[in-house]
Structure 1
Amino acid sequence: MRCFKLLLLAGILCLPPALAAAGECGPEALGTARILEVPFAQGPVGRASYGRTLPLERGEVVLTFDDGPLPRRTNAVLAALKAECVKATFFVIGTMVAQFPETLRRTAAEGHTIATHTWSHRYLNRIRSETVRRDQINGGLAAARTVLADDAAPSLSPFFRFPGLGHGAALDRYAAAQRLVPFSIDVDGDDWKRIAPAAVMARVLKRLDAAGRGIILLHDIQPRTVAILPDLLRQLKARGYRVVHVVPAQGDTQAALAALDAPRAKPIRLALDRLGTRMAALRVAARPPASFVEEAPLVLRSGLFEEAPEAPPSRDQSRSGGEVRVALIADAAPGGPAPRAGWSGFVVIGTAPQAAGFRAVAAASGPPPR
């Protein structure tokens, strides 16, 4: 009951432990143990950069994926997560979002948290231009907002990760002014290095065992990650680790979007404009067609069908009240009179019974008899 009240009053998701595993995948799946709300006041997190991390219990991990979306590999990562009922956080690149918006929308639709990772993955701590830094930070968020501007928007978060984890006091201050929550890491899988998939698996597990908990960094665009992820999730389950899904506090995402500085660089602006046009077209195409309302009965061409001279219609399913009228009419008899009035407004559906049917005038050898 308390969870239900929180959901209604604050919009906070509240799930009992391992609900996903028990409800969808069964107890053998890893599942998502709990959902952790991370408010803006929490500040930067991740021991690799800030010396502190999320308030996780021993054995709890947060899965994060950087640098996507990239359709084939991101979709494979999503499939592996879905098979184990696990929710993760994806730090996406603006240029990748602009190329593959449908993949981002799928990621959001499957309940994962969407965070940002700059416009084009430039190492901001190596750039002197404040304008370039700002465009990089804001461009990534602007791209994600453009794609997730409707029903997928609840998945968008103000979580942000500096490329290469490169940050500094000035960058952290600007991120705070933009109402962003910088996310560093606690465990690096090194999946971006040229090492074997087995080496990635070994490093993740060894470092996680040493830390006991924390934020794990992987990359959904890397083939090594795609190769090891199903087995890695099973290993986490076997070793007793529990997955925590991080989500923003209510209102924090909107605050970050309100503070967003429109990128100034012309290439980024043009790319965002094209993305906006593309998304608008996709939404129009996906819009369900308006329900058809027949304003008047359908009128068939005069003489299209011939009516029997004397016998009444063998079946009359005509209905009033503006609904479509249906009638089955017996075959015409040779030498009969002209069709009676009143049969010009009907629609024929289905097949006539064996004892009665239709004979198209166009198929007759001569003019209809009189």
Structure 2
Amino acid sequence: MGLTRDGYRIAVVDADGGPAGPVEAYRRCAVERPVARLVELARRAPHGLAVVVDSGNGILDSSLTAAGVAVLRADPPLLADGRVTAEALAELGASRPESLVALGDGGWTMSGREEGIRAAEEASAAVGRRLGAQGRLLHGGEGAAPLVALTFDDGPHPEHTPRILDVLRRHEAPAAFFCIGLHALAYPGVVRRIAAEGHTLGNHTWSHAYLPDLGPIELRRQLSFTAEAIAAAGGGPLPWLRPPYGGRSPELLERVAESGLTTVLWDVETNDWARPGPEVVAERVLRQVRPGSIVLMHDGGGDRSRTVAALPAVITGLRERGYRLVALEELAAGRARTSAR
């Protein structure tokens, strides 16, 4: 399964590495269509089928594994600058399956690489502090005033994002939406509504890539393709970047800052991607919140109905505790004033 500038490509090979059919292209669509096709192919395959992805394509595996399809991940030593074609990934699955990582249902795209990811994050601490002091990186929970920013990742989604926007409008609450470029390309009308209702739009990469794996060329593509798709939908400039998984390295943080973007992390983790009950999502927010918190939730990437159901209790509960919900811009401005004192 590979990516292009405007969508997805599916290439299927047999056990000998030969093509088992024509390459299929899925343009300007969300992930549901290619996922449905892969599930169909897996059910038809007499000897089974495995889908090969890489860490630059982090929005497919959970839907596929939930449907019972085997998913294998190809890691950087097998790739070049993070750029791979559907044909190359399929060939790897046939020729070197033992070198690929099997992803399980309920896991995550980077399973098996946790130690290296933690090491990269720890190595990024000094650079992160410096960029934070310069206003080029926002952590959560570093403020003095009782301000909180709500953020949503992985959209836009044609059903869940509008429902979240409805809740925000009823409660007169601002939020930030970090969009995946492929989803913005598929649903420009939802992007327009986010912007029209005064919410912040941010860059969440083209395909939910683990950015430290990418070289400078592919990093630029991930960011610029997304910015162009959102701008084409009427979203305006995107000064904010949320790296998928919070993935970072010293080199990545420097490159992002040099590109003019501000990296936005978080301190309140709801884990709503695992689809807990709405009361669990709300409880996690209210238990972890502190002045200056940035709350991470999701409006895309799966069934987000529980997040939608939890949102009224999240907003009401925060306000009852004396917190004011603000846009990222106001949160960042407050940090800058505090740092200048």
The bucket for the TM-score relative to the shorter chain is 0.5 to 0.7
Letter of the 2:295 counterpart: I
CA distance in 2, matches of 1:179, 1:170: 15
CA distance in 2, matches of 1:248, 1:215: 12
CA distance in 2, matches of 1:100, 1:64: 19
Q: 1:106 to 1:205 in 2, by over 3 A?
A: same
Residue 247 (structure 2) aligned to one of 166, 179, 188: 166
Residue 201 (structure 1) aligned to one of 282, 291, 314: 282
Is 1:192 the counterpart of 2:278? The answer is: no
Residue 178 (structure 2) aligned to one of 76, 81, 91: 91
CA distance in 2, matches of 1:130, 1:118: 14
CA distance in 2, matches of 1:74, 1:138: 23
Is 1:226 the counterpart of 2:308? The answer is: yes
Counterparts of residues 46-85 of structure 1 (less than 5 Å): 46-47=139-140, 53=142, 56-85=143-172
CA distance in 2, matches of 1:58, 1:218: 22
CA distance in 2, matches of 1:86, 1:63: 9
- In the TM superposition, what is the alpha-carbon distance from 1:207 to its structure 2 partner? 0.8
Letter of the 1:131 counterpart: I
CA distance in 1, matches of 2:250, 2:191: 31
TM-score in terms of structure 2 length = 0.54
- In the TM superposition, what is the alpha-carbon distance from 1:163 to its structure 2 partner? 0.2
Is 1:45 the counterpart of 2:138? The answer is: yes
Query: For structure 1, which runs of at least 5 residues remain unmatched after alignment?
Result: 1-38, 250-370
CA distance in 1, matches of 2:279, 2:330: 34
Larger gyration radius, structure 1 or structure 2: 1
CA contact (8 A) 1:44 1:181 kept: yes
Residue 226 (structure 2) aligned to one of 129, 140, 164: 140
CA contact (8 A) 2:275 2:306 kept: no
CA contact (8 A) 2:175 2:327 kept: yes
TM-score in terms of structure 1 length = 0.50
Deviations 1:52-93 (A, max 9, x none): 84xx33421011111111021100100100001111111111
- In the TM superposition, what is the alpha-carbon distance from 1:129 to its structure 2 partner? 3.6
SS of the counterpart of 1:119? coil
Deviations 1:148-182 (A, max 9, x none): 2xxx53xx431101000001111111111110000
CA distance in 2, matches of 1:214, 1:60: 7
Deviations 1:217-240 (A, max 9, x none): 111222221111112111112222
Determine which structure has the larger strand proportion and give its number.
Answer: 2
Letter of the 1:203 counterpart: R
Identical pairs, percent: 35
Letter of the 1:234 counterpart: T
Letter of the 1:57 counterpart: A
- In the TM superposition, what is the alpha-carbon distance from 1:96 to its structure 2 partner? 0.4
Determine which structure has the larger helix proportion and give its number.
Answer: 2
Q: 1:85 to 1:159 in 2, by over 3 A?
A: same
Is 1:183 the counterpart of 2:264? The answer is: yes
Q: Which residue of 2 aligns with 1:236?
A: 318
Q: 1:161 to 1:85 in 2, by over 3 A?
A: same
SS of the counterpart of 2:328? strand
Q: 1:175 to 1:128 in 2, by over 3 A?
A: closer
SS of the counterpart of 1:111? coil
SS of the counterpart of 2:327? strand
Residue 157 (structure 1) aligned to one of 233, 238, 241: 238
Q: Which residue of 2 aligns with 1:115?
A: 202
